[in-house]
Chains A and B, each alone.
Chain A
């Protein structure tokens, strides 16, 4: 109202403009800083007793759309997960090789089969024999390396989890302290914009690692939840801990049972002291932690299972002795006599061993069916069903521990099979305690083949050959791999990392051709029956593969030759990698869009600031001018004389 009032008012205007200039300068300085949001200096008409007395500066605020930010964080979580997974899968794809290059696993397997075919043509040529041994060695080593690389990647994932957890913990602590400060300052009416920027950065760190939800409370505190509802930060921060195992091997796997689990798990300790195992109750679904968990527990073990299946099939295919059942005169039945050679027992534990199997393939009304009988030590062990490729069509029979076996082997098998629902009752005749097991073709049931498959470990007995054994280092004693099912530590897990060429072959490669026939005569040098049979096992025999490999499923397992399996594995990895990469790219595009929106809303535009600068400049000069004028008026006033 008075001149003094005007002076005060322009002073307030000057002050306001100063603050605004300060904000503009800060905006311009931080134009390129990531995470910086545009600040504005709001002002309001200063009302004192109902009358305006100038301009009042309010706390600097920032222009942020909270919902957009929340969305953006969610997308970035997703993006982080996909890009991490895609990264790892790409590495696996590259490891498995290019289609035409010699680095491909299926190429090595092919070359091995080719060298075996050359051996079948020139069995007496020692150069060719050495080539076969060398190719087998190369194949074993490639499997070893791939297995080692996969386990290395798993260890990387484990370490990544540890690092991520550390990051999250630090960020949560930061959020906790910032929450407190912001609450205090907001209560005092001070500006909290910069602190909020800092807090957003911490939130971004956390969301890059795991998917979170945030709720802003009225007092400025932001509460952070995991997507499953556990509180991460409220007034105080929770802590996540991870019991890392550092180095993982194929035996390290996740299990719900804490005694069996031998990989790390995430434990959330709330500020009150409650502990929650996040993997059992609400695991992170997005973010890098989710990516590492997925890789460590699903993707990489699947790749390992594929390699193990290849190793297992290679070892078993070449070393299995196949004995066919004897047909009767008219060909209507096929039977095995367990009291006659070669299945005859002469002492306990003599001929039948854990892991051996009997396979019958038959047709019922035109539909092809398969049934496998496995000989195991404890047929009531429920985990056995997980270890066979086709659990719906498998039965387990106890290996005899006493001699003679009671009940007889034939009776045991018959009893086990009659327990299956989908097997026709006329397929087997009741041996009535005897030793002969007979399969009948009658009516709509036609038996195609009935064979006994036993893994053979004597190199002199032929024509099968245990070319591959378990153990590939000079320091370990090489052991036979016979496909045993009953061990607690299943030998098939991690076999790819241990498989090696039989050392007996490295010393004497003529074992590839030489063997002793049933009548005690050793075959001559030029006889190609052994290499020919090995070649057939590699290229013509079709096997069933476990659903653990991701190929086929439990009701329709994947069937094919060993070479087919190699190819299918390489293709599978390639497809997985490509699919994930393209998902990651799509996600990146979506994230980019949101980022642009956010940036355009909250980011600094230099031109805008410059324009603002011009305005402020003129405002400042205007206020200064007002003061100057008031000053002149005062001078005029004071220079008033009578």
Chain B
């Protein structure tokens, strides 16, 4: 490949040796070039190693690298598109199922014909099947609605959810138990009609309405008195809280036609119902909406008796319809919104007053990863109440519901009265009589006015109240004021201020707390606290930001478990795919997302509760609450699908862009690397001709030697 340089001043005499060498060199040179061109022709590339590309080597490598990266992005996009399409399909099925059921149910309600309503459970069953199947969609061995845990099937199968498995109850049994707890007895009991845990009784002209269902039943929320003839019994001014619920005592004065009072009840779902009790001389055939009439009599005892009966009937009516319906919806909420599910505590649902969270007694419908854990605050217990004892006499008049402590000095004193014989016990006045109970060892209270130092956290050790101090009580410790406690602060969370050594009301009132002295989780429902026992594995986040700590029940104790990772609050972020440099697209989904869960929940309760032709109002009430939620949830599913659709669009746009760039890059690379076949062929031809020429000339030159002529 060396060029021939002519230097005219050099004596170029061809010596034999020189001739030989020169010949060999030029022939060898030509042959090498021919070999190179042949190789180029066969391979299609003109360089056989990076070095031959010289300065363009970097460029070519960069282009090839870019194509390889684009290929991997294209492959990722293809896969993600497949998965998203499957998600959209599944969400579509779910949406149609929920929507269809919602429409059917609404039309069944409007048609007033029992026949259609009777079919709702079956329709719901079918819809539930479709919903569960679509949530369990599996493609390429991955479950699409299980967040990052793609190998776990998210939702239990239909039969397990409804009927339970291996001794654990399913939705049907949980709802049935809740119905018993809310109603106080079987719904179709004729001899003992369900009373919604509300007892209406009378002593003379004093009527008592007592709700003792705790977390269940028809909660008595408030009462309003528009006529002076019916007034709450002093010193009470209205509905009073008790340890198991609430009560109202009213005295009947001289009641005349037209006098009325209103009671406000709260259903398990939180909605309120007003019952207006009106005194009338004669009851009308069709009483006005929301009004219950009772006959007035000259004898107030009879009037009050009529009042009691009318109210009892109305309560039973409500129990059999709205309460029963709301109970079903609440049962579904408890079953689907809590992990493990929240069920009626204890073994006697009709008399139960609290929930428990138990994975041992009820099956969990969802196996996938959880969303963000519930957040709450730590408390050291639930207060029994403020203990008061003045050491000398009984308080008069006693406050209804207020819990007093009978200290031995008072009991032994002359003015003990009804308290005699009950030292070291609680005494509670229910308006008619005192009831006594002993404090449990370890029980805590905030000391009242007559204690050595009021406002202290004290703990019963079996003989005395000891002030809980030192490391046990620290600045910032909190407690919940429980039932029967200082009335004004009922239900609030108190915080200890070490500086002033007092308990004050905490500035932020949390609605979820966990009791570190026992496995209890408290939920504030606006009126009172529901305490539920928590099982091993239940988790909660306490605090926020950098000071957030994850607590978990472990062998019966709450243990801090380190800083909780921010579970992506947005379920989309549970799966991310890289589709471009520093660009990620989120496409995850979880079966327990709000929209999907709502649809599932409402469909499930409609399928779980059987239709009883004798208790149509029950199912009617249930459907009228579940159906609008169904339609609403179907609409929310559309939002979820839209969010996924936006990702789809982004993917397509990126795909098109990558494909364009890739083909351009490929062309650029080939332009640099590939040979021009025609050029190579022509060059090859030329060289071969040259070689042939060289051979023939050489042969001739060899013959030209003086030797031949001597």
B-contacting residues of A (Cβ < 8 Å)?
A: 31-34, 36, 90, 93-94, 96-100, 104, 106, 110, 113-114, 117-118, 120-125, 517-521, 523-528, 532, 535, 539-540, 563, 567-568, 570-571, 573-578, 581, 585, 588-589, 592-593, 595-597, 599-601, 603-607, 610-611, 613-614
Contact = CB atoms under 8 A, between A and B. Distances in A.
Nearest to A525: B151
A99 B151 contact: no
B576 interface: yes
B89 interface: no
B562 A518 contact: yes
A604 B141 contact: no
Interface string B142-158: 10001111111000000
A596 B50 contact: no
B562 A570 contact: no
B62 A521 contact: no
A110 B45 CA distance: 21
A527 B582 CA distance: 19
B16 A585 contact: no
B148 A527 contact: yes
B565 interface: yes
Among A121, A567, A573, A581, the one with the most B-chain Cβ atoms within 10 Å of its Cβ is A121
**Chain A facing B: main interface SS:** helix
Interface in B58-110: 58, 60-62, 64-65, 68-69, 71-72, 75-76, 79-80
Contacts of A93: 49-51
A99 B52 CA distance: 10
Contacts of B54: 574-575, 578
A600 B1 CA distance: 23
B191 interface: no
A133 B564 CA distance: 31
Interface in B134-179: 140-142, 146-152
B64 A600 contact: no
Given A98-B50, A528-B576, A110 B65 contact: yes
Given A110-B65, A563-B65, A31 B148 contact: no
B10 interface: yes
A123 B141 CA distance: 11
Contacts, number: 198
B15 interface: yes
Interface in B692-707: 705-707
Interface residues of B, number: 72
Nearest to B148: A527
Contacts of A113: 72
Interface of B: 1-3, 5, 7, 10-18, 20-22, 25, 45, 47-55, 57-58, 60-62, 64-65, 68-69, 71-72, 75-76, 79-80, 140-142, 146-152, 369, 550, 561-565, 575-578, 581-582, 584, 673, 705-707, 710
B326 to A, nearest CB: 37
A276 B490 CA distance: 102
B151 A124 contact: yes
30 contacts: A34-B17, A99-B47, A99-B50, A99-B64, A110-B68, A114-B68, A121-B577, A122-B142, A125-B140, A520-B562, A521-B565, A525-B152, A526-B150, A528-B575, A532-B578, A567-B61, A567-B65, A574-B53, A585-B2, A589-B3, A592-B25, A597-B11, A600-B13, A603-B17, A605-B13, A605-B16, A606-B16, A610-B705, A610-B706, A613-B710
B672 to A, nearest CB: 10
A585 B3 CA distance: 11
Contacts of B3: 589
Among A97, A110, A604, A611, the one with the most B-chain Cβ atoms within 10 Å of its Cβ is A110
A114 B72 contact: yes
Given A573-B50, A600-B12, 7 more contacts: A110-B65, A570-B61, A574-B52, A575-B55, A578-B52, A578-B54, A611-B706
A122 to B, nearest CB: 7
Nearest to A563: B65
A606 B53 CA distance: 46
A599 B17 contact: yes
A99 B61 contact: yes
A575 B51 CA distance: 5
Given A121-B577, A521-B565, A524-B369, A32 B65 contact: no
A526 B142 contact: yes
Contacts of B50: 93, 96-99, 104, 570-571, 573-574
A524 B150 contact: yes
A571 B57 contact: yes
A371 B418 CA distance: 83
- Report the 5 A-B pairs with minimum CB-CB distance, sorted nearest first: A526-B150, A574-B50, A603-B15, A524-B149, A574-B51
Contacts of A605: 13-16
A98 to B, nearest CB: 6
B562 to A, nearest CB: 4
B578 to A, nearest CB: 6
Contact of B53 (A33, A36, A99, A539): A99
Contacts of B57: 99, 570-571, 574-575
Contacts of A599: 15, 17-18, 21
A118 B75 CA distance: 8
A535 B584 CA distance: 13
A117 B152 CA distance: 23
B468 to A, nearest CB: 31
Nearest to A115: B72
A563 B565 CA distance: 32
A69 to B, nearest CB: 15
B16 A589 contact: no
A123 B576 CA distance: 12
Nearest to A114: B72
A225 B12 CA distance: 32
A421 B565 CA distance: 42
B58 A122 contact: no
Given A117-B76, A524-B148, A100 B12 contact: no
Contacts of B71: 114
A110 B75 CA distance: 15
B5 A589 contact: yes
Contacts of A540: 581-582
B51 A581 contact: yes
Given A592-B25, A603-B17, A605-B14, A519 B76 contact: no
A578 B47 CA distance: 12
B577 A120 contact: yes
Contacts of A96: 50
A292 to B, nearest CB: 21
A600 B18 contact: yes
Contacts of B710: 610, 613-614
Contacts of A106: 61, 65
Contacts of A110: 65, 68
B550 A523 contact: no
B272 to A, nearest CB: 41
A36 B79 CA distance: 76
A600 B12 CA distance: 6
Contacts of A577: 49, 51
B47 A600 contact: no
Contacts of B369: 524
Nearest to A580: B51
Nearest to A31: B16
Contact of A585 (B1, B22, B150, B562): B1
A31 B20 CA distance: 10
Contacts of B2: 585, 588-589, 592
B17 A33 contact: yes
Contact of B150 (A34, A94, A124, A581): A124
Given A574-B57, A589-B5, A527 B149 contact: yes
Nearest to B63: A99
Given A589-B2, A606-B16, A597 B582 contact: no
Nearest to A581: B51
A524 B12 CA distance: 84
Nearest to A96: B50
Given A599-B18, A605-B14, A124 B61 contact: no
